[in-house]
Amino acid sequence: MTAMKTLMTGIALFTALFATAGWADQPGADWKVSKEQAEVTLKAAGYTQITKIEADDGHWEGDGTKADGMKYEFHVDPHSGKITKDEMDH
C-alpha cells in the first residue's frame, strides 16, 4: 500500500508541476510590444501568414509562412520589437 501511495503522490506532483507551467508563459507587465505589434513587424519582414504566436520564455514565439511558401519559426523581442530568431522550420 505504501508503494501505491508514493506512486500516486508522485503522479499528483508531476501533474501539478506541468499544469502550473502552462500558466507561466504570459506576456510580462513590462513588455512594450503587444502580440499585434509583433505581427505587424513580422508581416513587414515578409511573413504572409502567421499560424502561431504566443508568449514563451520571455519573448513572442511562433510559426509562420513567408512569400516563398516556406514555413519559418520566429522570436520577437517584447521590449525592442526586433526579430531575434527567423529560421526555416524543418
- 0.85 exceeded by pTM: no
Our CA dihedral for 7, 8, 14, 19, rounded to 10 degrees, sits at 170
The predicted-structure confidence for 26-56, as pLDDT tens digits, reads as follows 898 999 999 999 999 999 999 999 999 999 9
The C-alpha cell of 27 is what? 506576456
Q: Residue 4: pLDDT above 80?
A: no
Of the pLDDT bands very low, low, confident and very high (cuts 50, 70, 90), residue 1 is low
**CATH number for position 57:** 3.10.450.40
Percent of the chain at pLDDT exceeding 70: 74
Of the pLDDT bands very low, low, confident and very high (cuts 50, 70, 90), residue 16 is very low
Say which DSSP state 90 is in.
-
Range of the domain at 40: 28-88
Does residue 42 belong to any structural domain of this protein?
yes
